[in-house]
């Protein structure tokens, strides 16, 4: 198959593109390579994928929120499926620059739905987020739970993507699978996320900030487990049989959580990073940040039942792998 992967210079997009190429698919990767975090890391990811793809990876730099630029970039290109994981990510930045989220996540998502419609795409898998669960108190979070109370604009745009997708599945019968990722970490990770920020600060001997006075829990999911879940979805479009899908749609639209199904206290994760770095952290306990949630925990029954998904990397194994990659990449 030839697969269009958006956000291919990003953490998850690059990892998905690499795995698809390694298993023998061809990938057309697109990304605007924006400077939300260091562009050099994004370029290095693209070079890394090119290095292991055996000539099966092509890359184009384009802003998918710009319809005419996107149409021009895709002209003459063919692909069978779409993995749309490009987006403006990050909860905290959505308080600073809300417009970036509306452009990339609303206009961008609509544009990818339109590409899928115009091309008669046989399936688009797209990224949602655990943040759609907002401050829900029922744990673990299940795809059947109500998600009408987002606490950040980032979450609101991700929920809006799910709703737009439902409409496109209804109106045009486009098979769609939305994935609510839970705190992804691992090699080639994101510099604005906890695992990276903590590792960086500990190695530099700088203090780390822990919000909500340390009362924070996250369902941490190792990148290889995320990639395995994405590929299982790519290969299994929801059936057009009118039966209710995961998440409740009776259209060709399924929603899954991809998490590790373990909620780790952040202070425990800091201990693992300290062990891997061989140094102690200087922890600054701070109040809860606006837009943030105290706890995430994924119910993964739906994706286990439908696709046999099973995460295999415990945080005790994944954190040392991340820290080892971080040290090698930075030579520290
Ligand atoms: N990493 C996580 O823990 C996590 C958790 C929940 C959801 N997600 C979602 O998963 C997806 C991938 O996240 P990630 O961690 O790889 O983030 P990332 O920021 O590393 O990757 C996203 C990529 O999309 C690109 N992009 C943004 N706007 C674009 C545009 N208008 N046109 C073209 N490219 C554009 C960026 O340049 C970036 O390379 C996102 O949709 C994110 O919201 C991630």
Supply the range of the domain harboring residue 142. Answer: 2-185+220-261+297-311
Give the tens place of pLDDT for each residue, 277-313.
Answer: 999 999 999 999 999 999 999 999 999 999 999 999 9
Is 145 contained in some domain?
yes
CA of 132 to the centre of ligand 1 (A): 16
Neighbours of 184 (CB within 10 A): 25
Number of domains in the chain: 1
Residue 194, phi-psi category: left (phi > 0), alpha (psi -120 to 50), beta (remainder):
alpha
Do residues 43 and 81 make contact, with C-beta atoms less than 8 angstroms apart? no
Is 31 contained in some domain?
yes
Indicate whether residue 225 lines ligand 1 (CB < 6 A): no
CA of 242 to the centre of ligand 1 (A): 32
List the CATH number of the domain containing 123. Answer: 3.40.50.720
User: pTM, whole model, 2 decimals?
Assistant: 0.99
Rg of the chain on CA atoms, in Å: 19
Is 109 contained in some domain?
yes
Indicate whether residue 126 lines ligand 1 (CB < 6 A): no
Average pLDDT over all residues of the chain = 97
Do residues 318 and 262 make contact, with C-beta atoms less than 8 angstroms apart? no
Q: Element (H or E) spanning 26, and its range? A: strand 26-31
Is 157 contained in some domain?
yes
Give the tens place of pLDDT for each residue, 70-112.
Answer: 999 999 999 999 999 999 999 999 999 999 999 999 999 999 9
Is 27 contained in some domain?
yes
Is 253 contained in some domain?
yes
Is 199 contained in some domain?
no
């Amino acid at each position: 198959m030839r697969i269009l992967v958006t956000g291919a210079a990003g953490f998850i997009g690059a990892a998905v593109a690499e795995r698809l190429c390694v298993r023998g698919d061809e990938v057309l990767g697109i990304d605007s390579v924006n400077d939300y975090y260091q562009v050099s890391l994004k370029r290095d990811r693209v070079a890394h994928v090119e290095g292991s793809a055996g000539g099966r990876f092509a890359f184009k730099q384009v802003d998918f929120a710009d319809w005419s630029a996107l149409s021009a970039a895709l002209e003459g290109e063919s692909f069978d499926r779409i993995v749309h994981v490009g987006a403006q990510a990050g909860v905290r930045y959505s308080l600073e620059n809300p417009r970036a989220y509306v452009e990339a996540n609303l206009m961008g998502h609509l544009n990818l739905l339109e590409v899928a419609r115009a091309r008669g795409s046989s399936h688009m898998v797209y990224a949602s987020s655990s943040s759609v669960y907002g401050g829900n108190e029922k744990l673990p979070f299940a795809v059947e739970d109500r998600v009408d109370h987002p606490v950040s604009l980032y979450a609101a745009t991700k929920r809006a993507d799910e709703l737009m997708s439902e409409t496109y599945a209804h109106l045009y019968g486009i098979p769609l699978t939305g994935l609510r990722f839970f705190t992804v970490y691992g090699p080639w990770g994101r510099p604005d996320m906890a695992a990276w920020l903590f590792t960086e600060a500990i190695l530099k001997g700088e203090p780390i900030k822990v919000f909500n006075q340390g009362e924070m829990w996250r369902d941490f999911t190792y990148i290889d487990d995320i990639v395995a879940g994405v590929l299982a979805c790519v290969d299994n479009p929801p059936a057009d049989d009118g039966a209710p899908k995961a998440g409740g749609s009776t259209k060709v639209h399924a929603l899954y959580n991809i998490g590790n199904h373990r909620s780790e206290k952040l202070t425990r994760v800091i201990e693992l990073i300290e062990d891997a770095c061989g140094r102690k952290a200087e922890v600054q306990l701070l109040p809860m940040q606006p837009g943030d949630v105290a706890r995430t925990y994924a119910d993964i029954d739906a994706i286990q039942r439908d696709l046999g998904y099973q995460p295999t990397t415990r945080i005790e194994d994944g954190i040392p792998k991340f820290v080892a990659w971080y040290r090698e990449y930075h030579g520290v």
